[in-house]
Amino acid sequence: MNKKKGESKSEISTRLDLGSKFWKTFLTVLAASLTFAGPTYMVYALTNILKIDYFISMVSGVVLFIAGLALIWYLIKNNTIS
């Protein structure tokens, strides 16, 4: 079974099926977790528990925050959430 190199966008989106309630809920909870818990609890865990440098933990918190915002933007753009 050979897969085509140029899969269309509709084939990829049918695999993920953002219309199902499970994926809507999962991606919304993931986006909220990345946006709110990423910059707070992850920075705390990296700094105090894992004893990683403060600057590195703050940069990772900002990266998680931006990833959460990007996921929220993607969900709103595709009318998955409104």
Question: What pLDDT tens digit does each residue of the chain (82 aa) get?
Answer: 555 555 565 555 556 677 788 888 999 999 999 999 989 999 999 999 999 999 999 999 999 999 999 999 999 998 877 7
What amino acid is encoded at 57 in this protein? S
The domains of the chain are located at 19-77
In three-state secondary structure terms, 2 is: coil
What is d(CA 18, CA 81) in angstroms, rounded to the nearest whole number? 10
Provide the H-helix boundaries in 1-82.
9-16, 21-32, 43-44, 54-77
SS3 of the chain: helix, strand, coil, percent, to 5: 75, 0, 25
